[in-house]
Amino acid sequence: MLTRITTMRFLNFLFIFPVYTLAIILANGHEAWAAPVKSDIEADKFIYDQESGIITAEGNVILVQEGQTLAAERIIYNISDDSSQAQGNVRFDDGDGNIYYAKTFELSNAMQQGLVNSLYSELNDGSRMWASRAIRETPDRHILKDARYTPCKACEENPDKVPTWALRASEVTHNKNTAMISYDDVRFEAWGLPIFYFPYFSHPDGTIPQKSGFLTPSLGFGSDYGFNTEIPYYWAINRSMDATIGTRVFTKSAPQMNLEMRKRFEDASIRAAGSFTYSDRIDRVNGNNVYVDDELRGHFELQSLWNIDNHWRAGTDLKLTSDEQYLEQYDMEDPDVLTNRIYAERFDNRDYASVELLGFQDLRLDRNVDQPNALPFANMSFVGAPNSIVGGRLKWDSSFLSLFREGNEQDVNRASSRLAWQRQDILPAGIVSKVDLAMRGDVYYTSDRDLAKTDPNEDENAYDSRFIPTANIELSYPLQKRLEAAQVRIKPKVGLTARPDVDNDSTIPNEDSIDAQIDVTNLFEIDRFPGLDRVEDRTRVNYGVETGYYKDNGDEFVVSLGQSYRLQNEDNPFQNGSGFENQESDVVGQISAGFDHYKHNINYRFQLNGQKLNAERHEIFGATGTDTIRFGAIYLYERGSQGTEFTESREQIQGSITQVFNDNWSGRVAALFDMGEDPGLRQSVMGISYDDDCFGVTTELRRELQRDATGSNDTAVLMRLRLKNLGEFETTAYDYGSGDDNDNEYEL
């Protein structure tokens, strides 16, 4: 903060700077110069008038103490009234890179009062400060008169050039007793022109940990709510507890109350926050927008952490909201699902254990999904030391999960334990082998089964268990060839995974293994389902290759390709669209390249049908350009699949162009097009930015073309303002183009 730097560093250092040391040295005569005083003084001549009691150091006076330096043409000390004065081109260097200039510098009244005339400061971050006078009324009260501050560095060619922006105040007062810095008649100037005016404001000086007071206000306008404003109040309850209280007042709607409280303990912390209001909204039911009249709405958050000892910790991370639209409508956040968690964890070397209570709130519209809660979910993992068992290591993982739904919906209880041994060797021919042997056992109890609701022959409750041994071996043969200024690497790899036949069509429900999708990252995984409920059984072979060309200057070109093959074609557990559903899996690969320190780069990931090699999925990310213009593009294609959630093919492309006009100005345009079953523009963005060492502003016009009830079918104008040392401010303005009842809001 500007005056926290200038007032604290200049007045606190300069007014107690050791001119008094000069007086001691001169008053005690030349023989005292050898005394152990941590000061050095130089001058062309020293004059001591015993009759008047005045000591004078003249001509290129330099006083140094503890890394701080005071230079002046003359320093005068009057013993009778205990006053001192530095005159002529006074320059003070505080040793931290901050330099202060003044015409005169005076201390009086036993060094209790002081005055600096025509103060100019150059701070170590390039900031500058001016004041016509700096006054030390008492050791605890300092005043700057007609003060001006800018964080903008001086122009090398024209140091007197008007800065991009500056703050000017008729008076700045630092009161050490109250630990506050206050400002009178504050003006914000841009390029020398006054833009904003505040008659008064104040803030703590940073010498105390916390201070009660009002925070920066916010101001906005919305088509539904009208003008709105909030002035939060910060309450420093004690050194370990505080609160922030605010009321967001609207001219067309009920106010929104906001509260946040924080508490720190020796080994723990807790934060609680919430808001509430009374307002209407637009819901979406069966694909239709539905107006909901005024009702009580709000949200609640609770985060806590307790470091019990060196091994145990516990905590909570809770967030709930009254409805799907509240958080987005009031510009708080836009999540799809809120996750609530109460947990305890243990860490011990390589071992880990945890127990959690998990609850979920789905905020996605048109998603009639009864999210189950995990009450509880416990797991532990014990990892042995390398080479401790037959040249390998043991790992034991166990978990217990209880999924609970409200009413008579399906509930699932699952216990699982897995013991595995792994060994890795480099064979004499250079082949790298990795062997995994594992045994896993699962036990399930399911109540209020979904199958029983559609098939009267099925029991409502069912027990089930299974035992799954696994053997996996993976062989790779990395090869490398050194060239003159690059190297080539080729790494073919093959893996064999064997399991017995597992009855995936048993009474075991599928709660956590639904979204399996083939990719180069999971092709060689032993368990390619994301959860435990479904098991990839029988025997399969994985094979692939990774090749790369790597130049010494950082350029690279890498190609990866792979496929999986099931030796038995029956009872495939994977769903349609996963890429694993056929005996020959889809072919997956990735081609990536980066040149000129990745100024030009492309990443292409693809999925081809394992039998016909026609396209199933394409993803392309790329960027190129020069120092003044950049082009970027993202392309996505995914073929629809019958029997899945996405029966229609999805295809979209996004492009962007960024133009740098000069050292300060740049512009950007971007657009997202849907080329699928319902083609059209989905998003467009156009923006322009100005940025220098102390000021930045970005204005962006954004058009979203989605559904009304999601709150994203609108036009937005966003402005971000960056002021060095004062922070960043953001404004958003939403147009009325959507024609719905969304809140079209302008907020600061």
The alpha carbon torsion through 736, 737, 738, 740 (nearest 10 deg) reads 30
Domains in the chain, ordered, with CATH? Answer: 2-214 (2.60.450.10)
Q: What is the pLDDT of residues 669-698, one digit of tens each?
A: 999 998 877 788 888 999 999 888 888 888
User: Rounded distance, CA 136 to CA 11, Å?
Assistant: 8
Burial of 645 per CB tally in 10 Å (0-12, 13-18, 19+): exposed
- For residue 144, which of 180, 179, 115, 111 has the smallest C-alpha distance? 115
Average pLDDT for the chain: 83
Q: Name the pTM for this structure.
A: 0.72
Is the pLDDT at 150 greater than 80? The verdict is yes
The pLDDT value given to residue 14: 40
Task: Report the C-alpha gap between 748 and 741 in whole angstroms.
Answer: 22
DSSP 622-662: EEEE-SSEEEEEEEEEE---TTSS--S-EEEEEEEEEEE-S
Question: In this model, does residue 7 exceed pLDDT 80?
Answer: no
Question: For 409-454, what is each residue's pLDDT tens digit?
Answer: 899 999 999 999 999 999 988 999 999 999 999 999 999 988 888 8
216-239 average pLDDT score: 77
Q: How confident is the model at residue 29 (pLDDT cuts 50, 70, 90)?
A: very low
pLDDT for 748 equals 25
Find out whether 573 and 534 touch, Cβ atoms under 8 Å.
yes
Lowest average pLDDT, out of 91-95, 283-287, 641-645, goes to: 641-645
Nearest to 563 by CA among 611, 599, 598: 611
Residue 11 is given by DSSP the state I
Provide the pLDDT for residue 736.
Answer: 33
pLDDT tops 80 at residue 574: yes
Helix (DSSP H) and strand (DSSP E) numbers for the chain = 5, 43
Q: In sequence order, what are the beta bridge partners of 655?
A: 633, 671
Section 184-193 average pLDDT = 88
Which of 385, 412, 415 minimizes the C-alpha distance to 397?
Answer: 415
Residue 474 has pLDDT above 90, yes or no: yes
Question: How far apart, in Å, are the Cα atoms of 246 and each of 202, 212, 217, 259?
Answer: 19, 14, 10, 6
Q: Which tokens belong to 631?
A: 């082009």
pLDDT digits (tens, 9 = 90+) for 45-93: 888 888 888 888 899 888 887 778 888 999 888 887 778 888 988 988 8
| Over residues 524-537, mean pLDDT | 92
Q: Give the model confidence (pLDDT) of 613-622 as tens digits.
A: 888 999 999 9
Burial class (CB in 10 A: 0-12, 13-18, 19+), 307: middle
572 against 124, higher pLDDT: 572
Residue 489 bridge partners (DSSP): 480, 548
Q: Are 26 and 77 in contact (CB under 8 A)?
A: yes
Q: What is the b/e burial string over 497-524, where b = at least 16 CB atoms within 10 angstroms of the residue's CB?
A: bebeebebeebbbebbbeebbbebeebb
- Tens digits of residue pLDDT in 710-737: 445 556 666 777 777 665 555 444 333 3
pLDDT for 526? 93
Residue-level pLDDT at 31: 32
For residues 618 and 605, what is the distance between their CA atoms, to the nearest angstrom? Answer: 6
User: What pLDDT is recorded for position 111?
Assistant: 58
pLDDT at 570: 84
Please tell me whether residue 25 adopts helix, strand or coil conformation.
Answer: helix
State the average pLDDT over residues 596-602.
91
Does 307 have pLDDT greater than 80?
A: yes
Distances (CA, A) of 714 to 503, 705, 731, 736, 744: 50, 7, 16, 7, 8
Pairwise pLDDT comparison (169 vs 37), residue with the higher score: 169
Contact (Cβ atoms closer than 8 angstroms) between residue 339 and residue 366: no
Residue 2, SS3?
helix
Other CB atoms within a 10 A radius of the CB of residue 309 amount to 8
Say how many C-beta atoms besides its own lie within 10 A of residue 155's C-beta: 11
